[in-house]
Chains A and B, each alone.
Chain A
Amino acid sequence: MQRFSALSLLKRGLSGQRGWTPQWRRPEPKTGYDAIIVGGGGHGLGAAYYLAREHGLTNIAVVEKGWIGGGNTGRNTTIIRSNYLFDESAALYDHALKMWENLSQELNYNVMFSPRGVMMLAHTVHDEQVSKRHVHANRANGVDNEWLTAKQAKEFCPPLTIDNIRYPVTGAALQRRGGTARHDAVAWGYARAADALGVDILENCEVTGIRRDANGAVAALETTRGVIESRKIGVSAAGNTSVVMKMAGVQLPLESYPLQALVSEPIKPIFPCVVMSNTIHAYISQSDKGELVIGAGTDAYNSYTQRGGLHISSHALEAICELFPAFRRLRMLRNWGGIVDVTPDRSPIVAKTPVPGLYVNCGWGTGGFKATPGSAHVFAHTMARDEPHPINAPFTIERFADGNLIDEAAAAAVAH
């Protein structure tokens, strides 16, 4: 692996950026691996990296049906925060947030993590009560979160309108350690670092079947690039998890929905933080390129179309224009959809499955990007040790039978 440093960047810069080598190999699949991850998004590539680095499993592969980071890793609004209500969630998401803080150094790849603050607005008495409950619960768990008055919110984010609108802002909860990162760089950084440790990244390799032995344990993957044997398979396939798991005869409590996002034409730096509003349903930040990145909602029905209805994104834009009248004349450059896999309690499943050797990391719903490093880290632990890390131990499939739900539905930044 060519390491990046100020010196190497300067040297290549002065020699016309020539001499860079590909960031990862494009190997042919071997006949078998010690472990295989299905899904080349941030969560899957990260899990491969931690399997290799922390657990010494280097004869492993990531199979991806398209190109790496082409799914939800490249389609989300890049927001990172850990201000979740329940203890289990706070532990999981804050584990991730702490890893974000050092990820660029860890991977020797600039993921552009920018802890610029995530501010969640309150517009009603009910909002205030819920937000303050979150602030207190977070602080009790060692997760930073603070309550701002409307005036303080306006000072923190000057473009924000707090009064003379239909739903005046009455206050806000601010997590200063939250922020954004460059989503593509997360996939590329993990891919490059995993590749350097010997992990084979197999793109354009779609799983078409999962073979099991006489005892029911996983034995091999059937793919569009041939049969690949492995006794340890981790599925990290986001919206397509139900499809892949069905090949092993496992049904999960998941439904897949299109979730949309939009970006505006690029403008000068105007927006200093991330702002989210549950009540009027909008969230927004500004990318380093200058585009405003805006999140919309999910469609009402499950689908795999990666599109979403126009009225869903229009609704989000109406809310943005109400909160930020200065943006009314901006044009939107692109909108798109990603397929998110949603569980009934809106918390993920990172666990073993009833099939020996088969593991699943799914159900991240509308907010998986923020968890990428933490999720990948505990999933690698679960696969390597055949038992969960204490942090993901509560996030089982069995919780839907035994009733130990982690009901974060009301704690999502916006209601989906």
Chain B
Amino acid sequence: MLLIACPYCGERPELEFAHGGQAHIARPAKPSAVDTQEWTRFLYMRDNTKGLYAERWRHSHGCGKFFNAVRDTTTDHFIVTYKVGERP
């Protein structure tokens, strides 16, 4: 089980968290203005990187807040966790 450092609560076991997928995918500001390809990219296409990956987590059984993390997907080692709106 992973230990994850919530930026608000500190290190907690993985079971307290929900994974939120790839981070920094912005929803198009005007969905009606984007074409099908761009909408498909937003909805479905993911980098699925082997290596350093920016992802979202939610401390669902703790403070309930979303935050971001950078994790190495080849080792599951967390490089950094940071609050929404911040940059690592």
Binding site for B on A (CB under 8 A): 240, 242-243, 251-256, 300-305, 307, 309-311, 341, 344, 400-402
Contact = CB atoms under 8 A, between A and B. Distances in A.
Interface of B: 1-2, 14-15, 17-19, 21, 36-37, 40-41, 43-50, 53, 55, 71, 73-76
Contacts of B43: 344, 400
Contact of B1 (A252, A304, A309, A344): A309
A253 B50 contact: no
B15 A311 contact: yes
A301 B49 CA distance: 12
Contact of A252 (B45, B50, B71): B45
B87 to A, nearest CB: 21
A305 B48 contact: no
A365 B85 CA distance: 33
B73 A401 contact: no
A304 B74 contact: yes
A62 B12 CA distance: 45
A256 B48 CA distance: 7
Contacts of A309: 1-2, 14
A313 B83 CA distance: 31
Given A243-B50, A253-B44, 13 more contacts: A240-B50, A242-B46, A242-B50, A251-B45, A300-B18, A301-B19, A302-B48, A303-B76, A305-B75, A307-B76, A311-B15, A401-B36, A401-B37
A256 B51 CA distance: 12
Given A309-B1, A310-B1, A311-B15, A255 B48 contact: yes
A406 B43 CA distance: 16
Contacts of B14: 300, 309, 311
A376 to B, nearest CB: 24
Nearest to B13: A311
Nearest to A256: B48
Given A303-B76, A401-B36, A401-B40, A253 B2 contact: no
